[in-house]
């Protein structure tokens, strides 16, 4: 069943109105027509089954037949801070992190970040990540689209008062701390921030700086993982231990 996103304000009196890119997707890409069945999800955690009533280039009107809260969102709030990498690596991280149930993604720059993008390129990429997150949310049956925050510098990232119970910085040089050890201390967890470095890794000074701000350095085993592998492994393990992948 094709899924589309609609904001709550576009749902009224048992009907939903679709516009913009979602309408394009429905009409042009999937070529759906009046009478076709669709699933919608809104920004309040609800999913709706409905039938297209009318569909023009301006708006699609969908009659809602059934609304329910599917409960596919993890109770664990995961914020993934990912250093900007080369090429399209961030695209992959955004897509997969969305499938894995991350709620917030924070791209950041650090000392060894390779691409130094200008403002316009960052804006373009940010727009693309938003589209990727929406598309992955639709495909994976999520009812929340992850927020993608503005690009941070490492300093602002580690200095911000994140509303997270635990802040973990993944560092291959950490000698002892593992996720499992942290779990022994924190059997229950509702919110966590994970920071993953760029291809060049974090500098020792950055690790220091983060730990002064309450981050814990964590290792993910003895092999060096690519940044995107580290991000997706960390999210999976954390969702398994404290979230809804167990």
Query: Coil, strand or helix: which one is 77?
Result: strand
Q: Say how far apart CA 48 and CA 195 lie, in whole Å.
A: 35
Answer yes or no: are the C-beta atoms of 94 and 132 closer than 8 Å.
yes
Minimal distance in Å, beta carbon 72 to ligand SAH?
Answer: 28
Minimal distance in Å, beta carbon 238 to ligand SAH?
Answer: 13
Q: Between 29 and 224, whose beta carbon lies closer to ligand SAH?
A: 224
- HSE of 164 in the Cβ direction (CA atoms, 13 Å)? 26
Give 25's DSSP letter: I
Q: Between 132 and 227, whose beta carbon lies closer to ligand SAH?
A: 227
Q: Between 4 and 170, whose beta carbon lies closer to ligand SAH?
A: 170
Q: Between 22 and 206, whose beta carbon lies closer to ligand SAH?
A: 206
Residues at the interface with ligand SAH (CB under 6 A): 170-172, 196-197, 199-202, 219-221, 223-225, 227, 230
Q: Which residue is nearest to ligand SAH (CB)?
A: 197
Minimal distance in Å, beta carbon 124 to ligand SAH?
Answer: 24
Query: For the purposes of burial, counting CB atoms within 10 Å of the CB of 149, is it exposed (0-12), middle (13-18) or buried (19 or more)?
Result: middle
b/e burial code for range 9-18 (CB count within 10 A of at least 16 → b): ebbeeeebbb
Q: Between 119 and 221, whose beta carbon lies closer to ligand SAH?
A: 221
Minimal distance in Å, beta carbon 198 to ligand SAH?
Answer: 6
Minimal distance in Å, beta carbon 170 to ligand SAH?
Answer: 4
Q: Between 74 and 113, whose beta carbon lies closer to ligand SAH?
A: 113
Q: At what angle do helices 89-99 and 227-241 cross, to 10 degrees?
A: 10
Minimal distance in Å, beta carbon 224 to ligand SAH?
Answer: 5
Q: Which of 222, 226, 223, 235 is nearest to 197 (CA)?
A: 226
Q: Look at the chain and count its residues.
A: 246
CA R_g for the chain: 20
Residues 6+ apart with CB under 8 A from 125: 90, 117
Minimal distance in Å, beta carbon 117 to ligand SAH?
Answer: 19
Q: Which of 60, 46, 39, 54 is nearest to 8 (CA)?
A: 46
Q: Between 50 and 201, whose beta carbon lies closer to ligand SAH?
A: 201
């Amino acid at each position: 069943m094709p899924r589309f996103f609609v904001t709550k304000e576009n749902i009224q009196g048992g009907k939903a109105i679709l516009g913009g890119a979602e309408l394009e997707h429905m009409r042009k890409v999937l070529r759906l027509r009046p009478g076709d069945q669709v699933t919608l999800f809104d920004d309040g955690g609800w999913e709706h089954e409905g039938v297209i009533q009318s569909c023009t280039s301006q708006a699609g009107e969908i009659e809602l037949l059934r609304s329910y809260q599917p409960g596919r969102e993890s109770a664990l709030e995961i914020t993934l801070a990912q250093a900007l990498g080369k090429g399209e690596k961030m695209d992959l991280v955004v897509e997969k992190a969305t499938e894995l149930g991350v709620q917030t993604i924070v791209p950041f720059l650090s000392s060894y970040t390779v691409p130094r993008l200008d403002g316009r390129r960052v804006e373009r990429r940010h727009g693309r990540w938003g589209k990727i997150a929406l598309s992955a949310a639709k495909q994976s049956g999520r009812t929340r689209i992850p927020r993608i925050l503005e690009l941070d510098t490492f300093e602002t990232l580690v200095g911000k008062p994140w509303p997270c119970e635990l802040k973990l910085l993944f560092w291959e040089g950490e000698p002892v701390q593992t996720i499992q050890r942290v779990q022994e201390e924190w059997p229950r967890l509702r919110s966590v921030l994970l920071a993953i470095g760029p291809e060049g890794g974090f500098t020792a000074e950055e690790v220091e700086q983060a730990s002064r701000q309450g981050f814990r350095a964590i290792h993910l085993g003895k092999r060096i993982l690519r940044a995107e592998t580290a991000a997706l492994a960390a999210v999976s393990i954390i969702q398994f231990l404290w979230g809804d992948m167990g």
